[in-house]
């Protein structure tokens, strides 16, 4: 009889292969039928465990949509015939920017930059493979160009922190954090074109964002469009303008990945090292919040920290940002969650009135977040909690299946038999496989 681990591994591989299309992988067949940016990085992380070629093709396919300004959009619309997702390429209308990729067509915003550290993860197992070496020489300058876009167009004051102007760029689209960042900003009738959502026909609507949030999402797309998606007018005008913890921590982690891989192959990393020298102290000084005991996002529009405990701050660990004392503080909250019989790690604090264990990004546990936190905890030598973080996500998947995200309360297992969001989910499969293979 196969062990549970072997069964999970096989299932994970099957899902990755099933979600793979022509050189790229969709996060979930119907809910997200295109290639997403950071999902694609996690897909590559999964593939590298059993098929280097697929991992390489995945990233190559993502970068086939790179804009002339360096941006990697949050979505590559490889197929123009899919109808189950809103907004599609027509709505984005990226032709407003003369340097936007038109083949594939893409969205007009970006997502957390993961490819630098994914490349480093690939180098750990494939560093001596000539095929991988060749790939590094092809992709290194493209990833660096993406980071250059973030440190220029998204950092006009040259602070060392990139801004995002749309919640979708954070990867944590519906986090309660953004309720604070909007600070009362509401879309009025006539402000936006008519549109029809598709997400709430593909997933349980009670788990998805509210209509007023979608109106804001659409408003911000229109704003981006007005400024060709990279104009300074976005910085000057957007009602949503945030220096995000997760986005910048993963950028720093990816800088490190590029520096390490670059040095290994004798590539020039001086520009990346200069970014890094500015970015790490900027993150530490601007985003640490003593009151919360965690790193928090900075609301550039209203010039203040968003003082809420939220999971993004925990990605500082994998980027090696906190001092040992601060890391200890981060650890303590995870211990409290564990003692309260919760699965680690809820995406928003369970004591907060805005916490919701089912609605996406407002409380549930996310597999790819556990992967990031697990590696962060290991980096600080918190091996016991690292194991809890890893084992919790494996246990959730074993119990419920390969869903997009999960209820953090252990108590609901007696009454619930499913996870939430999409099923047979790519990043869930990818990180489960990677966690098991590299235990």
Packing angle, helices 324-339 and 383-400, rounded to 10: 40
User: Of the two residues 135 and 314, which places its CB atom closer to ligand 2M8 in the complex?
Assistant: 314
Site for ligand 2M8 in 191-250 (CB under 6 A): 199
3-state secondary structure of 310: strand
CB of 360 to ligand 2M8, least distance (A): 7
Contact by Cβ (8 Å): 22, 78: yes
Contact by Cβ (8 Å): 398, 4: yes
CB of 278 to ligand 2M8, least distance (A): 27
Any idea how long the chain is? 439
Give the pair of three-digit tokens for residue 251: 């950028």
User: Of the two residues 135 and 217, which places its CB atom closer to ligand 2M8 in the complex?
Assistant: 217
How far, in Å, are 124, 180, 307, 327, 343 from residue 310 at the CA level?
31, 13, 9, 15, 15
Specify the DSSP class assigned to residue 72.
P
Give yes or no for residue 27 binding ligand 2M8 (CB under 6 A). yes
CB of 320 to ligand 2M8, least distance (A): 23
> Binding pattern to ligand 2M8, positions 111-150, x when CB under 6 A?
----------------------------------------
Q: How many residues of this chain interact with ligand 2M8, rule: CB under 6 A?
A: 10
Beta bridge partners of 105: 77, 102
- Active-site choice (39, 159, 299, 404): 404
256 is a catalytic site residue? no
User: Of the two residues 109 and 261, which places its CB atom closer to ligand 2M8 in the complex?
Assistant: 109
- What is the C-alpha separation between 18 and 27, in angstroms, rounded? 11
> Binding pattern to ligand 2M8, positions 31-70, x when CB under 6 A?
-x---x-xx-------------------------------
Q: Which of 168, 247, 348, 403 binds ligand 2M8 (CB under 6 A)?
A: 168
How far is C-alpha 140 from the chain's CA centre?
A: 20
CB of 75 to ligand 2M8, least distance (A): 7
User: Of the two residues 198 and 280, which places its CB atom closer to ligand 2M8 in the complex?
Assistant: 198
Beta bridge partners of 409: 342
Beta bridge partners of 342: 409
User: Of the two residues 126 and 207, which places its CB atom closer to ligand 2M8 in the complex?
Assistant: 207
CB of 381 to ligand 2M8, least distance (A): 29
Q: Which of 9, 20, 74, 154 binds ligand 2M8 (CB under 6 A)?
A: 74
> Binding pattern to ligand 2M8, positions 331-370, x when CB under 6 A?
----------------------------------------
CB of 171 to ligand 2M8, least distance (A): 4
User: Of the two residues 105 and 126, which places its CB atom closer to ligand 2M8 in the complex?
Assistant: 105
Q: CB-based contacts of 374: which residues, under 8 Å, 6+ apart? A: 386, 389, 390, 435
How far, in Å, are 34, 171, 174, 186, 308 from residue 179 at the CA level?
28, 15, 9, 11, 11
Sign of the CA dihedral 29, 31, 37, 41?
Answer: negative
User: Of the two residues 171 and 419, which places its CB atom closer to ligand 2M8 in the complex?
Assistant: 171
Q: Which of 171, 262, 313, 363 binds ligand 2M8 (CB under 6 A)?
A: 171
Sheet holding 304-305, edge to edge: 242-243, 298-299, 304-305
- Active-site choice (29, 82, 173, 387): 173
173 is a catalytic site residue? yes
- What is the C-alpha separation between 188 and 352, in angstroms, rounded? 29
Q: What is the 3-state secondary structure (H, E, C) of 81-98?
A: CCCCCCCCHHHHCHHHCC
CB of 33 to ligand 2M8, least distance (A): 10
Which residue carries 């760029």 as its tokens?
169
User: Of the two residues 173 and 437, which places its CB atom closer to ligand 2M8 in the complex?
Assistant: 173
Task: Note the residues at the interface with ligand 2M8 (CB under 6 A).
Answer: 27, 32, 36, 38-39, 74, 168, 171, 173, 199
User: Would you name the residues annotated as active-site residues?
Assistant: 173, 404
């Amino acid at each position: 009889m196969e062990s549970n681990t072997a069964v999970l591994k096989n299932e994970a591989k099957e899902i990755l292969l099933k979600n793979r299309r022509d050189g790229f992988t969709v996060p979930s067949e119907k809910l997200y039928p295109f290639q997403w940016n950071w999902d694609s990085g996690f897909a590559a992380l999964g593939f590298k465990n059993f098929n280097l070629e697929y991992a390489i093709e995945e990233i190559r396919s993502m970068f086939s949509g790179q804009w002339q300004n360096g941006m990697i959009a949050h979505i590559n619309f490889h197929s123009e015939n899919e109808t189950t997702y809103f907004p599609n390429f027509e709505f984005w209308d990226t032709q407003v920017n003369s340097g936007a990729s038109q083949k594939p067509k893409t969205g007009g915003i970006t997502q957390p930059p993961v490819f630098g550290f994914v490349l480093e993860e690939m180098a750990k197992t494939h560093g001596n493979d000539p095929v991988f070496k060749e790939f590094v020489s092809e992709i290194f300058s493209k990833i660096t160009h993406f980071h250059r876009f973030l440190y220029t167009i998204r950092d006009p004051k040259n602070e060392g922190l990139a801004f995002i102007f749309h919640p979708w760029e954070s990867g944590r689209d519906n986090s309660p954090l953004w309720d604070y960042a909007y600070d009362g900003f509401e879309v009025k009738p006539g402000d936006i074109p008519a549109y029809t959502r598709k997400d709430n026909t593909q997933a349980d609507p009670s788990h998805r964002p509210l209509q007023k949030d979608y109106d804001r999402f659409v408003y911000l797309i229109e704003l981006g469009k007005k400024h060709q998606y990279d104009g300074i007018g976005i910085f000057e005008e957007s009602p949503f303008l945030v220096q995000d913890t997760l986005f910048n921590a993963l950028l720093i982690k990816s800088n490190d990945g590029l520096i390490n891989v670059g040095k290994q192959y004798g590539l020039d990393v001086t520009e990346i090292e200069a970014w890094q020298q500015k970015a790490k102290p900027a993150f530490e000084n601007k985003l640490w919040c003593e009151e919360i005991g965690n790193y928090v996002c900075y609301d550039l529009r209203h010039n203040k920290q968003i003082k809420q405990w939220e999971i993004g701050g925990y990605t500082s660990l994998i980027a090696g940002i906190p001092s040992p004392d601060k890391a200890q503080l981060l650890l303590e909250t995870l211990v409290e969650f564990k003692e309260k019989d919760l699965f680690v790690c809820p995406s928003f604090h369970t004591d907060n009135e805005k916490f919701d264990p089912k609605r996406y990004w407002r409380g549930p546990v996310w597999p790819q977040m556990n992967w990031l936190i697990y590696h962060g905890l290991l980096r600080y030598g918190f091996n016991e909690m690292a194991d809890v973080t890893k084992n919790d996500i494996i246990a959730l998947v074993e119990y419920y299946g390969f869903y997009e995200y999960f209820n953090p309360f252990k108590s609901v297992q007696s009454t619930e038999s499913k996870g939430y969001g999409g099923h047979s989910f790519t990043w869930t499969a990818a990180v489960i496989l990677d966690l098991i293979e590299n235990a």
